[in-house]
Amino acid sequence: MTERATSPVYRILDRDGLRDLLAELHEVRALLGGEPGDWQVGEVGDGNLNLVFIVEGPGGSVCVKQALPYVRAAGPSWPMPAERAFFERSYYAAVEPYVGRLIPRIYHYDARHHCTVMERLSPHIILRQGLIAGRRYPNLGRDVGEYIARACFFTSDLAWPFERKMEGLALFAANKPLVRITVDLVFADPYFSSPRNRHTSPQLDLLAAELRRDGPLKAAAARFGRKFLSETQALVHGDLHSGSVMVTAEDTRVIDPEFAFYGPIGFDLGAFWGNLLLSWYSQPGHATPDDDRRAYRDWILAEATRFWECFRGRFLALWSEHGKGDVLPAAMFSAPADASTLEAARGAFLDSLLADMLGFGACKMIRRILGFAHVIDFEAIRDPQVRGACEAGALAMARALLTHPEQFRSLREVIDAVPRMARRAEA
Amino acid sequence: MTERATSPVYRILDRDGLRDLLAELHEVRALLGGEPGDWQVGEVGDGNLNLVFIVEGPGGSVCVKQALPYVRAAGPSWPMPAERAFFERSYYAAVEPYVGRLIPRIYHYDARHHCTVMERLSPHIILRQGLIAGRRYPNLGRDVGEYIARACFFTSDLAWPFERKMEGLALFAANKPLVRITVDLVFADPYFSSPRNRHTSPQLDLLAAELRRDGPLKAAAARFGRKFLSETQALVHGDLHSGSVMVTAEDTRVIDPEFAFYGPIGFDLGAFWGNLLLSWYSQPGHATPDDDRRAYRDWILAEATRFWECFRGRFLALWSEHGKGDVLPAAMFSAPADASTLEAARGAFLDSLLADMLGFGACKMIRRILGFAHVIDFEAIRDPQVRGACEAGALAMARALLTHPEQFRSLREVIDAVPRMARRAEA
pLDDT in tens, A391-427: 999 999 999 999 999 999 999 999 999 999 999 887 7
Which chain B residue lies closest to A220 (C-alpha atoms)?
A: B345
pLDDT in tens, B190-227: 999 999 999 999 999 999 999 999 999 999 999 999 99
Q: For a pLDDT cut of 70, what percent of chain A falls above it? A: 98
Cα torsion B347, B349, B350, B355 to 10°: value is 130
Contact B160, A160 (CB under 8 A): no
B241 in helix, strand or coil? Answer: coil
Q: Read off the amino acid at residue A266.
A: G
Q: Is it the case that residue B1 has pLDDT exceeding 90?
A: no
Least confident of A392-401, B71-80, B377-386: B71-80
Distance CA A35, CA B114 (A): 58
Q: Which residues contact B202 (CB under 8 A, 6 or more apart)?
A: none
Going from N- to C-terminal start, the domains of chain A cover 2-119, 125-426
Q: Which of B162, B180, B392, B151 is nearest to B282 (CA)?
A: B392
Interchain contact, A344 vs B219, CB within 8 Å: yes
Helix/strand/coil (H, E, C) string of B92-140?
A: HHHHHHHHHHHCCCEEEEECCCCEEEEECCCCCEEHHHHHHCCCCCCCH
Q: Read off the amino acid at residue A354.
A: L
- Within 10 A of A382 (CB to CB), how many other CB atoms are there? 8
Q: For a pLDDT cut of 90, what percent of chain A falls above it? A: 93
C-alpha torsion sign, points A36, A42, A44, A45: positive
Interchain contact, B180 vs A163, CB within 8 Å: yes
Element (H, E) at A61: strand A61-67
Least confident of A45-54, A376-385, B400-409: A45-54
Closest Cα of chain B to A73: distance in Å? 24
Given the cut 0.90, state whether the ipTM is greater than it. yes
Distance CA A148, CA A274 (A): 15
Distance CA B347, CA B351 (A): 6
Q: For a pLDDT cut of 90, what percent of chain B falls above it? A: 93
Quickly state the pLDDT bin for B74 (edges 50, 70, 90): confident
pLDDT in tens, B260-316: 999 999 999 999 999 999 999 999 999 999 999 999 999 999 999 999 999 999 999
Query: Does the CB of A179 have a partner CB in chain B at under 8 Å?
Result: yes
Q: Please state the pTM of the whole predicted model.
A: 0.96
Q: Output the pLDDT for position B4.
A: 43
Contact A166, A111 (CB under 8 A): no
Distance CA A339, CA B421 (A): 31
Distance CA A330, CA B320 (A): 44
Closest Cα of chain B to A70: distance in Å? 19
Q: Which of A223, A222, A253, A251 is nearest to A240 (CA)?
A: A253
Query: Does the CB of B157 have a partner CB in chain A at under 8 Å?
Result: yes
Closest Cα of chain A to B147: distance in Å? 21
For range B114-134, the mean pLDDT: 97
Quickly state the pLDDT bin for B7 (edges 50, 70, 90): low
Query: Does the CB of B87 have a partner CB in chain A at under 8 Å?
Result: no
pLDDT in tens, A155-195: 999 999 999 999 999 999 999 999 999 999 999 999 999 99
Interchain contact, A326 vs B229, CB within 8 Å: yes
Q: Output the pLDDT for position B3.
A: 39
Which chain B residue lies closest to A336 (C-alpha atoms)?
A: B213
Q: What is the CATH number that goes with domain A125-426?
A: 3.90.1200.10
Q: Output the pLDDT for position A7.
A: 65
pLDDT in tens, B141-182: 999 999 999 999 999 999 999 999 999 999 999 999 999 999
Query: Does the CB of A399 have a partner CB in chain B at under 8 Å?
Result: no
Closest Cα of chain A to B97: distance in Å? 23
Q: Output the pLDDT for position A46.
A: 78
Q: Is it the case that residue B399 has pLDDT exceeding 90?
A: yes
Q: Which residues contact B243 (CB under 8 A, 6 or more apart)?
A: B47, B126, B127, B128, B256, B275, B375
Interchain contact, A326 vs B218, CB within 8 Å: no
Cα torsion A360, A365, A370, A373 to 10°: value is 90
Using CB atoms, which residue from A183, A233, A332 is nearest to B222?
A332
Query: Does the CB of A229 have a partner CB in chain B at under 8 Å?
Result: yes
Question: Regarding the domain with residue range A2-119, which homologous superfamily does it belong to in the CATH classification?
Answer: Phosphorylase Kinase; domain 1 (3.30.200.20)
Query: Does the CB of B173 have a partner CB in chain A at under 8 Å?
Result: yes
Interchain contact, B327 vs A225, CB within 8 Å: yes
Q: Output the pLDDT for position A45.
A: 83
For range B229-247, the mean pLDDT: 98
Choose, out of A164, A212, A332, A352, the residue to mutate when testing the contact with B (most B CBs < 10 Å): A332
- Within 10 A of B85 (CB to CB), how many other CB atoms are there? 25
Q: Which of A378, A163, A154, A147 is nearest to A251 (CA)?
A: A147
Query: Does the CB of A170 have a partner CB in chain B at under 8 Å?
Result: yes
Chain A residues with CB under 8 Å of B173 CB are: 166-167, 169-170, 173
A106-110 and A115-119 strand pairing: antiparallel
Using CB atoms, which residue from A157, A170, A222 is nearest to B327?
A222
Cα torsion B7, B9, B14, B20 to 10°: value is -110
pLDDT in tens, A19-78: 999 999 999 999 999 999 999 999 998 777 899 999 999 999 999 999 999 988 888 898
A24 in helix, strand or coil? Answer: coil
Q: Output the pLDDT for position B6.
A: 54
Contact A218, A98 (CB under 8 A): no
Q: Output the pLDDT for position A2.
A: 37
Using CB atoms, which residue from A167, A329, A338 is nearest to B215?
A338
